[in-house]
Amino acid sequence: GSLTQLEDTAPRIVEHPTDLLVSKGEPATLSCKAEGRPAPAVEWYKDGERVETDREDPRSHRTLLPGGSLFFLRILHGRRGKPDEGVYVCVARNYLGEATSRNASLEVAGE
């Protein structure tokens, strides 16, 4: 048999994040899984701004999991604001293009 040439494909999101309601100080995971060849790089955006994870800042409480999900060690919520609350999307990119997930809102449960 002849070897089929695997064709590169643009990313597509196969698992979208869903809205979360999280208690302050609890861990949380926003799911995202993308497929594509070559394997797409995943980035997260919150309210349109790129989310920094422990890849950029070792002290960050957010970790980008190998599959592309975003894991929060604990949801931060202080008197000065709710840094983790907002609308998140994940974006998967490779050289053929990019795919954006549905919006998922993360809310911190009331005081």
Which domains can be identified in the chain, with CATH numbers?
14-108 (2.60.40.10)
pTM of the complete model: 0.89
Report pLDDT digits (tens) over 42-67: 999 999 999 999 999 999 999 999 99
Instruction: Give the whole-angstrom CA distance, residue 108 versus residue 111.
Output: 9
pLDDT tens for each residue of 92-106:
999 999 999 999 999
Q: State the Cα–Cα distance between residues 97 and 40, nearest whole angstrom.
A: 9
Measuring CA to CA, how many Å separate 111 from each of 22, 42, 61, 75, 78? 11, 33, 21, 13, 10
Q: What value does the mean pLDDT of the chain take?
A: 93
